[in-house]
Amino acid sequence: MYRTFHLQHQQPAQKAMGALGITLRILKNLKPDPFCLSLIERAFPGGVMALRAVSARAGRPVGVYKAFAGKLGSGLERNHLNVAAVFKRIPHGEGLVVALQGRVSQAGSEHWSFHSSLDQWADRIIKGHGRKPTVGEYFSEGLPAALMNTELDPYAALVLADAAERQASHYGYTAEMLLDWIPSTAVRR
């Protein structure tokens, strides 16, 4: 009886502490060397400070793909917020990424849930209406829903979607542009 009570009440707290630990560890490791600094300045409006503010508000480590290399814990992968195969104007290494658990091909993992939610969203628009998703729809519907599908809370999901939108706009995307959707199953390695 005691054991059940203990588990029910300790697990969410432990989970939260674990997530906080990962965030702090990665933020601490994000020491801006000259390469990272110039890369981040180029890739995200506001540079390192703006990126750190996003990470702190979202409660998740957020970075630029190349500057994040080798700084994640085991089991975590860098996930492009602006799907790399779709947002081709953003160079792959400069894409804004968030750390998600598991591989994209690992059913049930956070990474898989993110892409599977986006694919379903795009499918509904394409197959249901023959339309193509717009950049505006991606940031107002598709991306926040996909992030919430990874069990991020709605506030964090909106913070990350907003940051991703800022980056897309920085690279010349506008809300009314149409996206050529590529299902994640097509680019899984």
Partner 1 sequence: MKPSTWQLIEEINGYPLFCEIGKRPLGDKFTFVASWDRAVGYAQERKWINLTYACFNRTSSASSATRGAEWNVFAEKTKVLLKSAEEKISRVFTERNAPWSLASACALDLFLAVAEEEYSDVIRPLFFKPILLPVYAAGHFPCGWNGGTVPGSEIGGTLRSLPPGKIRVH
Residues within the interface to partner 1 (CB under 8 A): 85-86, 88, 123, 126-132, 134, 176-178, 180-183, 185-187
Residue 107, token pair as written in the block: 């059913």
Residue among 31 and 129 whose Cβ is closer to partner 1: 129
CB of 160 closer than 8 Å to CB of 122 = no
- CB of residue 79 vs partner 1: minimum separation in angstroms? 18
CA distance 143 to 158: 9
Given the structure tokens 């702090």, which residue do they identify?
Answer: 24
- CB of residue 128 vs partner 1: minimum separation in angstroms? 6
- CB of residue 83 vs partner 1: minimum separation in angstroms? 11
**Helices 154-170 & 47-58, crossing angle to 10 degrees?**
160
Residue 163, token pair as written in the block: 């940051």
Residue among 37 and 182 whose Cβ is closer to partner 1: 182
Residue among 86 and 168 whose Cβ is closer to partner 1: 86
Residue among 25 and 131 whose Cβ is closer to partner 1: 131
- CB of residue 85 vs partner 1: minimum separation in angstroms? 7
Residue among 39 and 119 whose Cβ is closer to partner 1: 119
- CB of residue 186 vs partner 1: minimum separation in angstroms? 5
Task: Tell me, letter by letter, the H, E, C secondary structure of 134-165.
Answer: EHHHHHHHHHHHHHHCCCCCHHHHHHHHHHHH
> CA nearest 154: which of 144, 143, 165?
144
Which strands make up the sheet holding 76-80, listed edge to edge? 62-64, 96-101, 76-80
